[in-house]
């Protein structure tokens, strides 16, 4: 197995480990969860760079690498839902859309179909990642006495329920909308994948 594929496997393994630590009642475990998430996220960039630079591109990697990314981000959003940071119904929409579109892209690539993407979808991903790191770091920071004792009021204000709700709602709407655009722009390819095209 190539190194990029090994990193993909590592990212999949680290996802439930991150979630377990994030949900722990122990402060140090929550802190470690942030480090693990960052390491896992960096492995995504690194394995992609390795695959392109040294031509380590494999069918296995094409299938699992994007899924590993979604498994990792899904673990974070599930954690946010469990601790009541983000409503569960929003998390279901975000994860559902991302998994469906990712699978469609993976299978279309395996069939050598060109699945059209857009900058709008890239902005969606950027917004998701920014929001994810925002919540992850601030949520864990509020449980860290050294940080909370100095910046507690600021952290509480930045984690205001209404603020988080409306930002999460905006991201959910953008995520759903970009998914519908994907389907609209690529419906012929989707029909081919489903084998219902005449």
CATH number at residue 42: 1.20.120
Residue 72: give the domain boundaries: 3-194
Percentage of the chain with pLDDT > 70?
98
Q: What is the pLDDT of residues 56-102, one digit of tens each?
A: 777 777 778 888 899 999 999 999 999 999 999 999 999 999 999 88
Residue 51's pLDDT is 78
Q: What angle do CA 62, 65, 68 make, to 5 degrees?
A: 145
pTM of the model: 0.89
Structural domains counted in the chain: 1
Q: What is the pLDDT of residues 177-187, one digit of tens each?
A: 999 998 888 88
Most confident of the following: 47-61, 112-126, 133-147: 133-147
Classify residue 79 by burial, with Cβ atoms within 10 Å: 0-12, 13-18, 19+: buried
């Amino acid at each position: 197995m190539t190194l990029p594929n090994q990193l993909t496997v590592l990212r999949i393994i680290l996802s439930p480990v991150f979630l377990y630590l994030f949900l722990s009642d122990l402060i140090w475990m929550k802190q470690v969860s942030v480090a693990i998430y960052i390491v896992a996220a960096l492995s995504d960039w690194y394995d992609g760079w390795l695959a392109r630079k040294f031509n380590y591109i494999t069918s296995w990697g094409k299938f699992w690498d994007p899924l590993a990314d979604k498994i990792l981000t899904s673990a974070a959003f599930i954690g946010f839902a469990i601790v009541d940071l983000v409503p569960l119904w929003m998390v279901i929409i975000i994860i559902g859309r991302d998994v469906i579109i990712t699978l469609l892209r993976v299978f279309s690539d395996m069939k050598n179909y060109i699945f059209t993407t857009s900058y709008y979808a890239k902005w969606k991903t950027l917004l998701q990642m920014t929001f994810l790191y925002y919540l992850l770091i601030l949520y864990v920071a509020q449980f860290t006495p050294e940080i909370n004792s100095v910046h507690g009021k600021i952290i509480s204000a930045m984690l205001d329920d209404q603020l988080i709700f409306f930002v999460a709602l905006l991201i959910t709407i953008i995520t759903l909308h970009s998914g519908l655009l994907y389907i609209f722009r690529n419906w012929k390819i989707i029909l081919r994948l489903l084998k219902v095209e005449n």
